[in-house]
Amino acid sequence: MLTIEHAYWLLAAFLFGAAWLNLRERRGSHAAFWAVLGLLFACGQPVLAATQAHNLVPAQAAGIGVLVLAVLAPRMKRGHLVERSADEREADARRLRHRLLLPAVLIPLVTLLVALSGDRLAIGGRHLFDATQMTLTGLALACVIALVAALLVTRAQPSAGLAEGRRLLDTLGWAALLPLMLAALGGVFAATGVGDAIADLVKMAIPVQSAVACVIAYGLGMVLFTAIMGNAFAAFPVLTAGIGLPLLIQLHGANPAILGALGMLTGYCGTLFTPMAANFNIVPVALLELPNQYDVIRAQWKTGAALLVVNLALMYWLAFRR
Amino acid sequence: MTHWLPLLGVLVVVIGFALRFNPVPVVIVAGLVSGLAAGKGIGEILALLGNSFVSQRALLLFVLTLPAIGVLERAGLREHARYWIASLRGLTLSRLLIAYLGLRQILSMLGLTNVAGQAQTVRPLLAPMAEAAAEKRGAPLDPDERNDVRAFSAATDNVGLFFGEDVFIALGAVLLIQGFYSQHGIELQPLQIALWALPTAIAAFLIHGVRTVLFARRIHSAAVPAETAAEHMRADTKTDAKC
């Protein structure tokens, strides 16, 4: 049975390959960075299992690995790696044409197929895919199939898969890691009570008898907290327990379903504003080789601001209807 | 008083990002500060960091798309995407981006959030296509405009994903909301919650659609006269050879 753990092993293997290529070119910091990250991916499951069994030593070792990554990250220079010349690429593009699109489209297509029918695929009564995280397992499988198709279509050497993958990985550099680092920080913030402290701050600042003030405080609190955590999922339970439930639902009689849906979406507006949501706002800066770290946020913050106003208005109009 | 101390970690993040230090060490220092301020020992903080890190590994899975995308780029995928869009007469920049926005929202509504994304679709397909569509104005893009078009493509993917995700089909967000209320004694059906995300989804499509039209118009009318355009073309081939 294919599980998400297989996808992590595959990813670890790719990271080790990238480390090895960097080592051959005497780019020590890059090599060490990808090797440590690969190790963390390969050993993830045992670490979690040990923590379940109240053995904290593996988790602490992983924590040290994370510290090592943080030390190595600033030493990684984001240089441009050698690529095939534009002329060669254009010649290939004119020859291969639409055939080039096929492997690229296979990634979403196979992912889709697994997501929709993965739970029905079985060989000899055994399920092919583990039900948890099936879409992501499908994505990993899709990447392998697409790579094989890409190699067939372009008639490139199989080693090109590693070489080109590593070129893009080094283009991303430490930005690839930021989403994970921020998620880890979210875990620490949650465990140290940062959320409760922020909810208390908001409550101190508003007149609770006014429904409008409570709606605004809840909405802006979601935005602020999402911007700090980089993730509306972390903000929702804290702000809804701190403001939404006691003030809006119990005191002012708001409809919980409407308040919940719109509260979460208001948080999503905050995701558009913050570098902490690195996988959406910082990773594409590296992927698209943009000059300024905040270019993507600059392109989208006005959409987020307009939607924030719409959400607050909808919350006020819809949630208190009888 | 000690209740407020962990907020120091937030302060570290805000200052670190504002001063544009490398974000990775900033984030880790913030975690350490917040943990120490809450009175936790180093061992406990390390375990917390390590555990949160490995339990979020799914966030890096997009990296698996890179080998396939890289091989295709080596054989001219981005160049082909550009020629193809350039050959489609009616496909303007705003039509391309709005069609992508709508498709991304609908796919996300069906739970297919990982089907598209910054690594899977924006870098190899949408960004070069948008550049080619923008160049239909008759003049090549200068480097600043090229960056603007790329950033707007990335933004369009984000908006489509976020404001499709929790409509209709019970997904992560809806289940989180339902679970939260159920813990607090309020029982709701997922559909009850998901449907109320629909007005915002429509508003997101309209707002970002209008912004796309305005953006495309700005790019279109910024077309430089033919003579300077030729210079840009030369400068352009130079940058192209590098990237």
pLDDT in tens, chain B (243 residues): 567 888 888 889 888 877 878 888 998 999 999 999 988 899 999 998 898 888 888 878 888 989 998 999 899 888 888 888 888 888 999 999 999 999 999 888 876 676 788 988 899 899 999 999 999 888 899 999 999 999 999 999 999 999 988 775 545 678 778 878 887 888 887 778 888 999 999 999 999 999 999 999 999 988 755 445 455 554 444 444 334
CB < 8 Å from B in window 59-118 of A: 59-67, 69-71, 73-74, 80, 83-86, 89-94, 96-98, 100-101, 103-104, 107-108, 111-112, 115
What DSSP state is assigned to residue A84?
A: -
Residues of chain A contacting B67 with CB distance shorter than 8 Å: 14, 143, 147, 161-162, 164-165
CA pair distance B189, B170, nearest whole angstrom: 10
* Count of residues in chain A: 322
Residue A107 near residue A146 (C-beta atoms within 8 A): yes
- A118 falls within a domain: yes
DSSP one-letter string for A85-152: -HHHHHHHHHHHGGGGHHHHHHHHHHHHHHHHHGGG-EETTEESB-STTHHHHHHHHHHHHHHHHHHH
The number of domains in chain A is 2
Q: Which of A106-120, A219-233, A284-298, B63-77 has the lowest mean pLDDT?
A: A106-120
Q: For residue B81, give the nearest of A109, A103, A97, A87 by alpha carbon.
A: A97
What DSSP state is assigned to residue A244?
A: I
Range of the domain at A240: 192-319
- Phi, psi (deg, nearest 5) at residue A129: -125, 140
Q: What is the mean pLDDT of chain A?
A: 88
CA pair distance B59, B114, nearest whole angstrom: 11
CA pair distance A99, A122, nearest whole angstrom: 31
Tokens for B243?
A: 């990237």
**What is the structure's pLDDT at B225?**
53
Straight-line distance from the first to the last Cα atom of chain A, in angstroms, rounded to the nearest whole number: 51
Region A63-83 average pLDDT: 85
Same-domain pairing of A10 and A152:
yes
- A181 falls within a domain: no
Same-domain pairing of A116 and A76:
yes
CB < 8 Å from B in window 250-289 of A: 256-258, 260-262, 264-265, 268, 271-272, 275-276, 278-285, 287-289
In a 3-state reduction of DSSP, which class is residue B211? helix
CA pair distance B19, A238, nearest whole angstrom: 29
DSSP one-letter string for B119-133: IIIIIIIIHHHHHHH
Is the pLDDT reported for residue A300 higher than 90? Answer: yes
**What is the structure's pLDDT at B198?**
92
Is the pLDDT reported for residue A131 higher than 90? Answer: no
CB < 8 Å from B in window 111-150 of A: 111-112, 115, 133, 135-136, 139-140, 143-144, 146-147, 149-150
* Count of residues in chain B: 243
Same-domain pairing of A9 and A78:
yes
Is the pLDDT reported for residue A202 higher than 80? Answer: no
Could you read off the pLDDT of A220-238 as tens digits, one per residue? 999 998 888 788 887 888 8
**What is the structure's pLDDT at B241?**
39
Tokens for A287?
A: 């992927």
Asked if the Cβ–Cβ distance from A174 to B111 is below 8 Å, we say: no
CA pair distance B203, A47, nearest whole angstrom: 44
Residue B159 near residue B177 (C-beta atoms within 8 A): no
Is the pLDDT reported for residue A182 higher than 90? Answer: no
Q: What is the model's pTM?
A: 0.79
Same-domain pairing of A29 and A166:
yes
Is the pLDDT reported for residue A151 higher than 60? Answer: yes
- A182 falls within a domain: no
Same-domain pairing of A218 and A113:
no
In chain B, domain spans: 2-55, 64-242
Which one-letter amino acid corresponds to residue B152? F
**What is the structure's pLDDT at B238?**
43
**What is the structure's pLDDT at B243?**
40
Same-domain pairing of A122 and A206:
no
User: Distance of CA A255 to CAs A165, A240, A268, A319, Å?
Assistant: 49, 13, 20, 5
CA pair distance B33, B16, nearest whole angstrom: 13
Same-domain pairing of A116 and A235:
no
- A185 falls within a domain: no
Distance of CA B176 to the CA centre of its chain: 22
From the CA of A231, how many Å to the nearest CA of chain B?
11
Region A286-311 average pLDDT: 95
Same-domain pairing of A15 and A86:
yes
Q: For residue A61, give the nearest of B9, B49, B195 by alpha carbon.
A: B49
Distance of CA A195 to the CA centre of its chain: 21
In a 3-state reduction of DSSP, which class is residue A2? strand
- A37 falls within a domain: yes
Give the whole-number percent of chain B exceeding pLDDT 90: 38
DSSP one-letter string for A180-213: HHHHHHHHHHHHTTHHHHHHHHHHHHS-TT-HHH
CA pair distance A119, A34, nearest whole angstrom: 34
Region A49-64 average pLDDT: 92
